[in-house]
């Protein structure tokens, strides 16, 4: 049974917002597009695991997606954790195309695609580190010693899997997603003794969900982009063009003629996700391209936002969400 579903793709959402707020000739555009493609593939790969996982017995298997936990020293992230009374199973999902060459000699994964070779961190090393960190966390919450297995699950059906050496070992640790139910059956036979009580299994799940901290990365810092590089203004809800004009309490788009009373909400949320979750009157005027300080004050106050400070130093907390359908 799925006890924790996939997290909303917040980081991908931020990357797309950043892309929309940068000039088309910005030096980081290509790198951001590459990151977007990588995250989209990763999310698709993780979600594709739902089908093979659906063959597992709901009563015996508890499934937790997208766990980000702290072991006391470092954070670590697990794509999918399967919890049973007999063992725990860490699944690291890879949705990579091309020929994937596992190279234990140099501790790397090599992707060969269209005669181009790229090196990636060795996922086998990655899951071993996750296993060590998970074991340390289990000890901290007083869970008895329990076997922890790890698997690399390749979600891309067209990927060709190879290894430079240790082929038998790697083939036991790297599987295609459709083979997962069969692999779990083999693990069930290997670990026939119950190591955890039902109560302990529930404690693991309850604690991990409580300790889970979604990654909230500063994308400007990640790409060394200044806030001054961002395109300012309110985007039109009809044609997405920047920047609408503020006329008599409404926003007007000169491109398509659309009027809107609340188009500023999306712009302020862009600011919250890309720049800061707090904003002053002066910062709002600049980002929304408003001339009047009084008008900006009225607009911010109309949102009933929590604020700190007074007069010119007042800071408004941008803690609302906006639908972007």
Strand partners, 200: none
Strand partners, 83: 62, 88
pLDDT score at 324: 54
Instruction: Please write the tens of the pLDDT for every residue from 183-213.
Output: 999 999 999 999 999 999 999 999 999 999 9
Across 240-253, average pLDDT: 92
163: phi then psi, degrees, rounded to nearest 5? -145, 145
Helices (H), the chain: 10-20, 29-48, 50-53, 123-140, 167-173, 180-190, 198-211, 219-222, 264-274, 281-288, 293-302
Q: Is the peptide bond preceding residue 120 cis, with omega within 30 degrees of 0? A: no
User: Taking a C-beta distance cutoff of 8 angstroms, is the pair 214, 7 a contact?
Assistant: yes
- Helices 29-48 and 10-20 cross at an angle (nearest 10°) of 150
Residue 310 DSSP symbol: -
Across 284-300, average pLDDT: 92
pLDDT band of residue 323 (cuts 50, 70, 90) is low
Across 77-97, average pLDDT: 96
- Other residues' Cβ atoms within 10 Å of the Cβ of residue 177: 21
What's the pTM? 0.86
CA distance linking residue 230 with residue 225, whole number of Å = 8
pLDDT score at 100: 95
Instruction: Please write the tens of the pLDDT for every residue from 131-163.
Output: 999 999 999 999 999 999 999 999 999 999 999
CA-nearest of 68, 85, 64 to 76 is 68
């Amino acid at each position: 049974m799925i006890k924790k579903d996939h997290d909303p793709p917040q980081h991908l959402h931020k990357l797309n917002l950043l892309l929309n707020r940068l000039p088309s000739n910005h030096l980081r555009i290509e790198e951001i597009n590459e990151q977007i493609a990588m995250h989209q593939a990763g999310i698709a790969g993780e979600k594709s695991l739902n089908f093979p996982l659906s063959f597992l017995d709901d009563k015996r298997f508890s499934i937790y997606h997208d766990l980000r936990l702290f072991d006391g020293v470092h954070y670590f992230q697990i794509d999918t954790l399967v919890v049973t009374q007999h063992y725990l199973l860490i699944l690291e999902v890879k949705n990579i195309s091309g020929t994937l060459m596992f190279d234990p000699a140099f501790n790397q994964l090599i992707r060969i695609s269209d005669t181009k070779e790229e090196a990636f961190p060795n996922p086998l090393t990655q899951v071993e580190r996750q296993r060590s960190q998970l074991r340390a966390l289990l000890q901290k919450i007083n869970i008895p010693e329990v076997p922890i297995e790890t698997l690399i699950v390749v979600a891309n059906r067209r990927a060709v899997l190879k290894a430079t050496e240790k082929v038998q070992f790697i083939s036991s640790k790297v599987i295609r997603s459709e083979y997962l139910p069969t692999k779990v059956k083999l693990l069930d036979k290997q670990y026939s003794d119950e190591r955890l009580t039902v109560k302990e299994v529930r404690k693991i799940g309850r604690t991990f969900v409580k300790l889970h901290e979604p990654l909230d990365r500063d994308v400007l810092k990640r790409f060394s982009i200044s806030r001054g590089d961002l395109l300012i203004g309110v985007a039109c809800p009809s044609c997405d063009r920047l920047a609408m004009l503020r006329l008599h309490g409404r926003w007007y788009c000169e491109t398509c003629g659309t009027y809107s009373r609340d188009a500023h909400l999306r712009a302020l949320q862009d600011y919250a996700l890309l720049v800061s979750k707090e904003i002053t009157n002066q910062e709002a005027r600049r980002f929304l391209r408003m001339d009047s300080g009084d008008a900006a004050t009225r607009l911010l106050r109309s949102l009933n936002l929590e604020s700190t400070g007074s007069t010119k130093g007042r800071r408004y907390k941008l803690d609302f969400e906006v639908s972007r359908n």
